[in-house]
A = this chain, B = another copy of it.
Amino acid sequence: MHTAGDVRVEDREDPRIIEPTDAVIRLTATCVCGSDLWPYRGIEPADHQVMGHEYVGVVEEIGADVRKVKVGDFVVGSFVISDNTCEICQAGYQSKCVHASFVAQTIGTQSEKARIPYADGTLVPTPRQPDPELVPSLLAASDVLGTGWFAAVAAEAGPSKTVAVVGDGAVGLMAVLAAKQLGAERIIAMSRHPERQKLALEYGATDIVTERGDEGVAKIKELTNGLGAQSVIEAVGTQESTMQAIGATRGGGHVGYVGVNYDVKIPGIDLFFAGIHLHGGPAPVRRFLPELIQLIWDRKIDPGKVFDLTLPLEQAAEGYKAMDERRAIKVLLTI
């Protein structure tokens, strides 16, 4: 991305092993994330930077210390590098690993190849080479599914719970899928887009709420006997959506948040008197990858449906445009 709105596909030098814990992978597919739109829209700076942080591919080369990943393995990786051995990783918070670094804007996986540090910690091989039809779902696990899943876990979605999902982007839709898998009794998708509502219902939503902000909060309360939902997922990251999520949660309930932008300020007093639990941040996707890969492998979930536009990597610019204009929920780039 040269500057906001200016995405170009250009030749770069091939990545090579630098550290003995590195692997180089040849990507099979990558995609455009909602968070890639922040610099695209000029909300975050963009200055001739590499882009992309979601990836699946085949291991082409490994460093001398790599043990768990072999050349030829088909792998899924998280959007945060992690060693998966430190105390923080072992507690399940790989995105806060002592060796954590973000793939976005450093490695950039909207590319043919990528060097992945801490390959043993970051990458998870699939049981065998996957059928091509599974590739979109495996790619989704790399971030958007893993993030939606984490949001649902953070919101403590589960049996007998009513779960409200703020946001009908790809992550919000994945959170609906996750809440369903986690056994939620009722899943309220907050969406005003007919195609997204349709996909939410396919993924397990039981109710659709089109209202937003205070009206959205009032509607959730109306649907929950005046109490609010036990579990609310925040998958947008604006001031309005954040306060909508907090307001829609009953006292003692849980908000799982995975959306963020730089202008949100949560008034301490509102949070205090809400009496809720708040948990979120960059999803520790690595924690969930083995389980998610297995669910996809066994065809128990089909998160790949969230990709409604597929383009070759060369047309990445058109992919950004389609997502920016909300013509596409999520764009898969083939390589």
Q: Which residues of A contact B (CB under 8 A)?
A: 87-88, 91-93, 95-96, 98, 225-227, 237, 239, 242, 250-252, 257, 260-269, 271-282, 284
Contacts and interface: CB of A to CB of B under 8 A. Distances in A.
A272 B268 contact: no
Given A93-B251, A260-B269, A265-B268, 7 more contacts: A237-B268, A260-B272, A261-B269, A271-B278, A274-B281, A275-B281, A278-B278
A205 to B, nearest CB: 23
B266 A273 contact: no
A228 to B, nearest CB: 9
Given A267-B264, A268-B265, A278 B281 contact: no
Contact of A267 (B257, B265, B273, B275): B265
Contacts of A93: 250-252, 275
Contacts of A88: 227, 250-252
Given A252-B93, A265-B267, A268-B237, A279 B281 contact: no
Contacts of A267: 264-265
Contacts of A264: 267-269
Q: Which of A261, A263, A281 has the most CB of B within 10 A?
A: A281
Given A98-B226, A252-B96, A266-B271, A279 B276 contact: yes
Nearest to A263: B268
A281 B276 CA distance: 8
A96 B251 contact: yes
Q: Which of A226, A252, A265 has the most CB of B within 10 A?
A: A252
Nearest to A267: B265
Given A96-B251, A251-B93, A268 B242 contact: yes
A257 B272 contact: yes
Q: Which of A96, A265, A269 has the most CB of B within 10 A?
A: A96
A57 to B, nearest CB: 27
A279 B277 contact: yes
16 contacts: A88-B227, A88-B250, A93-B250, A93-B252, A95-B275, A96-B250, A237-B268, A251-B281, A260-B268, A263-B268, A265-B266, A265-B267, A271-B281, A272-B282, A273-B281, A275-B282
Contacts of A262: 268-269
Contacts of A227: 87-88, 98
